[in-house]
C-alpha cells in the first residue's frame, strides 16, 4: 500500500528523522494493539471456521500480490486488506492485527523488502486497524453480533473505512516526506486516485464478506471473483495512465510524461543545489530529425513510422539511465540528470549525433537521417519545464540555421522573447486603432494648401507651390528666409502640411512636462531623440529657425535601412561641396544620435492604453548629375511610450513573423498614397518608393490594394514605386513573380533593393520587370576606401546600364563617395550627405530651402584601382 519508492535505502542525511518516525509508528501500534493481542490466545479456540478461511485467504493472496504492469511494487494491490478489515468488523482488533502481520511478513519476503520496511508496513496497518476499531465503537454494540443492521451501524462501518484509509495514507505521506524531502507531494498526489480505486474497493468489500460469512463459510471464497474484478480495474486504470503517458508508435514517454519527469527532477536538483551537493544541474536535449519529411514524402508514412521506431531504438541505446521521450512528429527529447558541467550534455549530444549519422536500412534502402540538437541547462536557462523546453527549441533551431548539429541555448539567439511578443501586441494595437479623427479617407483634391502657418496653427493665405528642380540664384542654404524658384521669400518653417497629417495614433500624445536639462549639449541630444520634445522645440524656436534632429533609422520592409547603425562615418565639413544642405545631416565629426534612446515617459503614458505613434518619414533621392530631387523613399518610424523610438530593424523582424505584417503594409500603402495625393494637390509632383515584405508578395492582395488606393486618391501609378529584396524573390519565385508582374501592368515601378547581397542577382535582372536597381549601402559606404567595394559598385552600375535600368546608390554619407558615384555613371543617390529621413511636413520645408549642387571633376573622384591578389 505504500506509495513511496521501492528501494530499500534511505538518502544520506535523512536516516535519523525517518527511522525515528518508524520507531514512533511501531510504538503507537504496540500501545494500541498490546491488549487485544494478549487476549488473542484465549479467543482462538472460539473463532469460527469463517475466520480461519478469511485468514488463509489473506495470507495466501498476499503471497502473490497483484502488481499492475508498469507500476512499482510499492503500488501493488494487497488483497489481505479486504480480509483483515472484515475480520476486524466480525471478530475484533486482535485477530485482525495478527493476520495482517503474518500477511505483511509473507508479502515482504516475496517482494524483497528490507526488515525495516516490513516492520513499518506492519506498524502502519496496525495503526490503521486501531483507528477503524475506535470508530466502530461509536455504533451501539458489536457490529454483526446478531440482529439486523441499523443506520448507525452502517455509518460506523463507513466511518471505520474512512479512518483506516486516512490513517494509512497519512503515515505513508509522512514517511515519504521524511525519506525523500520536498518531492514527496507530486508522487503521492498522482498515486491518490489509484489508491482510492484499489484500496477503497477492497475496504468496501469487507462488510459484504462479513455478511456472507454469517450465512455460510462456504460463501467466503466467492469473494475472490470481485477481488479479481478489483484487480482488473486497477490494471485497466494503470494501462489508461500508461497510454496517456506513452507514445503509441515508439513506446517512449510522451510530452505529458516528460513534463512530469522534468518537474520531479527539477525539485530534486534544486534540493541538491541548496545543499551545495555536486551534480545539481540537469539538461534537456531537444532532437529534431533533419531529413525526415523527405522520407515521408518520397516513401510514405508507413516507412516514416518504421524509421521513427528505429531512431527511438538508437536513442535508447545511446543513453544509459536517462529519460528518452518522443514529443511528436520527428521530435525527441532526452533528460540528462546529475550534471556538473554543460560539457557532459554536449558529450551525450555528440554520441546521439554519431548514432543518427549511420544510415538506417529499410527494405534494403539505406536512409540518411541526421539530427539537430538544442540543449537547455537547469538552472541557468530555466527553472521549469516550459522555459527549458522553449529555450531548448530555440537552441535547436539555432543549430539548424548555422548548419550545425548541436547548440546550447544563448539569449542572443532568442528572437521570440516575451518582450518581443509584447512589442508585437502593441504594434497590432496601434495598427488596429484606426486613423486619427478627421483624417481624410478619400480623394484629396480639396486638400489643405501648403503655405505659411498663421498664429493659432490654422493654415491660411495663398497656396505656395514648392519647386523641385534647380532654382536660379542658389544662395545660402540652411538659414532662415531662403528663396523659392520664383524668388518669393519662403519661411524655413511653417511651410508644409498640418502637423499630424500622415500619422497614426492610438491617442493624442500628452504635453511634455519635464524641465530642460541644465547642460545644453545633453538637452539638445534628448530633444533631438524625443519626437514630443522636438515638436515642442520647433514651436518654441520661431519661424526663422529649423532645429536639427540627428538620428538614423531603417525603413519598412527590409533589415538595415538607409540610416542603419552600420559603419558610422563622420560627415564632411558643412561648407565642403554639397555639404550644407539645410543642416539635415549630423554635425561634422559627430555620428548620428539614435532616436531609440528617447526617454521613457512611463508616468506620462499607460502602456495598457497607449501603444504609441506610427509616422512615415521620407528621405530624398537626388539625381547625381543635376542635383535635382527626383523622388523620396518612405521609411517607417514607431515611437513607443515606454521604449522610445523602436529600432526599425527590430520592428520589421518582429512584424514579418506574423500576420501583423499585412496590417503594417496596408497602413503604409494607404499613408504613402494619400501623402502623394496631398503633394499633388499642393503642386508637388514627387514620386515615392516604399519597401514591401516577402509576406506581401506571396499573394495578389497587395496589387489589388495598390490599384484601389491609386484610383481612390487619383494618383498616377508612375508616382509609386515598390522596392523588393532578393531574399523576397528567393523565398517563392513563382508567386512573387506573378505579383510583381501584376504591379508592373498597373504601372507601378519595381526596384530591386539591396542589390548584390543575394545569390541570383543576374537571373533576377533578366527575368523581372524591373525599372531600377538600388546598390546596397554595404558596398557604397566603403567604396571611398576599399577598392573591392568600389569595383563592385562600378560593375553593378555598368551592368544595370547595359540592361537599361536606372541605378540608385544608398548610404551616401560623404562628398568623395558622391563624386565617385558621379564618375561611375550612377543616376541617383540617397543618404545623409544629402538629407536625413524626415516627416512629410519637414520635407516640404527642406525642399523650399534646398538648392541643387552639381558635382565638378575632382582627382579624388577616380575609382581606386583594385590590386591583383
Residue by residue, DSSP assigns 525-548 as: HHHHH-HHHHHHHHHHH-TT----
The beta-strand segments (E) located in 140-289 are 281-289
Nearest to 352 by CA among 384, 399, 386: 399
Rounded Cα distance, 847 and 639, in Å: 25
Largest interatomic CA distance in the chain: 134
Rounded Cα distance, 55 and 588, in Å: 102
| DSSP β-bridge partners for residue 723 | 691, 751
Q: Please give the helix or strand (H or E) that residue 102 lies within, else none.
A: helix 93-111
**Which member of 772, 810, 815, 841 is catalytic?**
810
Distance of CA 792 to the CA centre of its chain: 40
Measure the CA dihedral 129/134/140/145, to 10°. Answer: 30
**DSSP reduced 3-state for 649:** helix
Residue 624 carries which DSSP code? T
Nearest to 555 by CA among 662, 672, 633, 659: 633
Rounded Cα distance, 164 and 531, in Å: 74
Q: Contact at 8 Å (CB) between 616 and 634?
A: yes
544-to-449, 520, 525, 689 alpha-carbon distances in Å? 21, 21, 21, 31
Rounded Cα distance, 423 and 435, in Å: 20
Rounded Cα distance, 48 and 89, in Å: 14
Q: Which residues contact 384 (CB under 8 A, 6 or more apart)?
A: 263, 266
Q: Which residue has the cell 539505406?
A: 366
- Helix residue ranges per DSSP H, 595-659: 648-655
Q: Please give the helix or strand (H or E) that residue 634 lies within, else none.
A: strand 629-640
Rounded Cα distance, 829 and 807, in Å: 8
Residue 92 carries which DSSP code? -
- Helix residue ranges per DSSP H, 358-462: 385-401, 418-432
Q: Which three cell numbers stand for residue 661?
A: 505584417
Rounded to a whole number of angstroms, the distance between the first and last alpha carbons of the chain is 82
The beta-strand segments (E) located in 641-780 are 644-645, 688-691, 720-725, 749-755, 772-775
Q: Contact at 8 Å (CB) between 485 and 472?
A: yes
**Planar angle of CA 470, 474, 479, nearest 5 degrees:** 120
Q: Which three cell numbers stand for residue 131?
A: 483507528
**Backbone φ and ψ of 526, nearest 5°:** -65, -40
Q: Which residue has the cell 543616376?
A: 827
Is residue 810 among the annotated active site residues? yes
Q: Contact at 8 Å (CB) between 731 and 752?
A: no
Q: Which residue has the cell 520661431?
A: 542
**DSSP reduced 3-state for 338:** strand
Q: Contact at 8 Å (CB) between 584 and 846?
A: yes
Rounded Cα distance, 405 and 384, in Å: 25
Q: How many CB atoms lie within 10 A of CB 599?
A: 14
Q: Which residue has the cell 525642399?
A: 847
Q: Please give the helix or strand (H or E) that residue 372 lies within, else none.
A: strand 371-378
**What amino acid positions are annotated as catalytic residues?**
810
Amino acid at each position: 500500500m505504500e506509495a513511496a519508492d521501492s528501494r530499500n535505502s534511505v538518502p544520506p542525511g535523512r536516516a535519523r528523522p525517518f527511522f525515528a518516525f518508524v520507531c514512533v509508528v511501531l510504538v503507537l501500534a504496540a500501545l494500541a494493539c498490546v491488549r487485544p493481542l494478549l487476549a488473542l490466545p484465549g479467543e482462538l479456540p472460539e473463532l469460527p471456521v469463517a475466520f480461519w478461511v478469511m485468514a488463509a485467504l489473506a495470507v495466501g493472496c498476499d503471497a502473490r500480490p497483484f502488481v499492475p504492469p508498469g507500476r512499482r511494487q510499492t503500488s501493488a494491490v494487497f488483497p489481505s486488506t479486504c480480509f483483515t478489515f472484515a475480520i476486524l468488523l466480525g471478530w475484533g482488533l486482535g485477530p485482525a492485527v495478527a493476520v495482517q502481520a503474518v500477511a505483511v511478513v509473507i508479502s515482504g519476503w516475496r517482494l524483497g523488502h528490507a526488515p525495516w520496511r516490513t516492520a513499518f508496513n506492519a506498524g502502519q496497518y496496525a495503526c490503521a486497524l486501531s483507528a477503524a476499531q475506535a470508530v466502530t465503537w461509536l455504533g451501539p454494540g458489536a457490529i454483526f453480533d446478531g440482529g439486523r443492521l441499523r443506520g448507525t451501524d452502517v455509518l460506523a462501518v463507513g466511518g471505520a473505512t474512512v479512518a483506516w484509509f486516512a490513517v494509512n495514507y497519512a503515515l505513508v505521506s509522512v514517511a515519504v516526506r521524511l525519506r525523500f524531502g520536498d518531492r514527496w507531494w507530486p508522487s503521492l498526489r498522482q498515486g491518490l486516485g489509484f489508491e482510492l480505486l484499489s484500496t477503497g474497493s477492497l475496504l468496501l468489500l469487507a462488510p459484504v464478506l462479513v455478511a456472507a460469512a454469517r450465512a455460510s463459510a462456504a460463501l467466503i471464497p466467492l469473494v475472490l471473483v470481485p477481488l479479481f474484478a478489483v484487480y482488473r480495474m486497477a490494471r485497466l486504470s494503470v494501462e489508461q495512465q500508461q497510454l496517456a503517458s506513452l507514445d503509441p508508435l515508439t513506446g517512449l514517454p510522451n510530452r505529458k510524461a516528460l513534463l512530469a519527469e522534468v518537474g520531479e527532477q527539477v525539485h530534486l536538483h534544486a534540493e541538491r543545489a541548496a545543499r551545495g551537493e555536486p551534480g545539481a544541474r540537469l539538461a534537456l536535449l531537444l532532437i529534431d530529425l533533419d531529413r525526415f519529411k523527405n522520407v515521408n514524402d518520397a516513401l510514405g508514412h508507413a516507412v516514416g513510422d518504421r524509421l521513427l521506431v528505429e531512431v527511438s531504438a538508437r536513442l535508447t541505446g545511446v543513453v544509459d539511465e536517462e529519460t528518452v521521450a518522443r514529443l511528436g512528429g520527428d521530435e525527441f527529447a532526452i533528460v540528462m540528470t546529475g550534471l556538473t558541467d554543460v560539457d557532459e550534455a554536449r558529450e551525450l549530444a555528440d554520441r546521439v549525433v554519431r548514432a543518427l549519422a549511420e544510415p538506417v536500412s529499410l527494405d534494403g534502402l539505406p536512409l540518411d537521417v541526421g539530427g539537430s540538437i538544442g540543449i537547455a541547462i537547469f538552472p541557468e536557462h530555466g527553472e521549469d519545464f516550459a522555459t527549458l523546453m522553449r529555450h531548448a527549441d530555440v537552441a535547436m533551431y539555432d543549430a539548424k540555421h548555422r548548419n550545425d548539429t548541436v547548440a546550447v541555448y544563448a539569449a542572443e539567439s532568442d528572437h521570440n522573447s516575451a518582450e518581443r511578443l509584447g512589442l508585437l501586441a502593441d504594434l497590432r494595437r496601434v495598427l488596429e486603432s484606426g486613423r486619427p479623427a478627421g483624417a481624410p479617407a478619400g480623394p484629396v483634391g480639396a486638400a489643405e494648401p501648403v503655405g505659411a502657418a498663421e498664429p493659432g496653427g490654422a493654415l491660411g493665405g495663398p497656396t505656395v507651390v514648392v519647386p523641385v528642380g534647380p532654382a536660379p540664384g542658389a544662395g545660402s542654404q540652411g538659414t532662415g528666409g531662403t528663396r523659392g524658384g520664383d524668388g518669393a521669400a519662403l519661411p524655413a518653417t511653417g511651410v508644409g502640411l498640418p502637423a499630424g497629417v500622415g500619422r497614426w495614433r492610438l491617442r493624442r500624445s500628452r504635453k511634455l512636462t519635464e524641465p530642460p536639462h541644465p547642460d545644453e549639449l545633453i538637452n539638445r541630444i534628448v530633444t533631438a531623440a524625443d519626437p514630443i520634445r522636438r515638436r515642442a522645440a520647433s514651436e518654441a524656436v520661431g519661424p526663422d529657425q529649423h532645429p536639427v534632429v540627428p538620428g538614423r533609422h531603417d525603413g519598412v520592409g527590409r533589415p538595415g535601412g538607409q540610416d542603419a547603425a552600420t559603419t558610422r562615418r563622420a560627415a564632411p565639413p558643412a561648407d565642403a561641396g554639397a555639404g550644407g544642405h539645410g543642416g539635415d545631416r549630423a554635425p561634422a565629426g559627430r555620428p548620428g544620435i539614435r532616436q531609440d534612446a528617447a526617454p521613457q515617459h512611463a508616468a506620462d503614458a499607460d502602456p495598457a492604453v497607449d501603444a504609441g505613434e506610427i509616422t512615415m518619414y521620407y528621405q530624398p533621392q537626388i539625381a547625381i548629375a543635376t542635383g535635382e530631387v527626383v523622388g523620396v523613399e518612405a521609411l517607417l518610424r514607431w515611437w513607443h511610450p515606454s521604449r522610445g523610438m523602436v529600432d526599425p530593424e527590430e520592428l520589421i523582424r518582429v512584424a514579418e513573423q506574423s500576420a501583423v505584417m499585412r496590417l503594417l503594409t496596408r497602413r503604409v500603402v494607404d499613408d504613402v498614397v494619400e501623402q502623394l495625393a496631398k503633394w499633388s494637390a499642393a503642386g508637388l509632383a514627387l514620386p515615392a518608393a516604399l519597401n514591401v515584405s516577402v509576406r506581401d508578395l506571396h499573394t495578389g492582395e497587395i496589387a489589388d490594394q495598390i490599384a484601389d488606393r491609386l484610383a481612390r486618391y487619383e494618383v498616377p501609378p508612375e508616382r509609386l514605386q515598390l522596392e523588393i529584396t532578393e531574399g523576397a524573390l528567393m523565398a517563392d519565385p513563382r508567386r512573387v513573380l506573378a505579383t510583381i508582374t501584376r504591379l508592373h501592368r498597373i504601372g507601378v515601378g519595381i526596384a530591386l533593393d539591396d542589390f548584390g547581397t543575394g545569390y541570383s542577382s543576374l537571373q533576377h535582372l533578366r527575368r523581372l520587370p524591373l525599372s531600377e536597381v538600388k546598390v546596397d549601402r554595404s558596398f557604397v559606404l566603403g567604396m571611398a576606401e576599399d577598392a573591392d567595394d568600389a569595383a563592385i559598385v562600378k560593375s553593378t552600375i555598368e551592368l544595370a546600364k547595359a540592361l537599361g535600368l536606372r541605378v540608385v546608390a544608398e548610404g551616401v554619407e560623404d562628398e568623395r563617395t558622391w563624386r565617385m558615384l558621379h564618375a561611375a555613371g550612377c543616376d541617383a543617390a540617397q543618404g545623409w550627405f544629402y538629407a536625413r529621413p524626415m516627416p512629410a511636413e519637414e520635407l516640404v520645408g527642406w525642399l523650399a530651402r534646398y538648392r541643387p549642387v552639381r558635382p565638378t571633376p575632382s582627382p579624388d573622384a577616380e575609382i581606386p584601382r583594385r590590386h591583383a591578389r
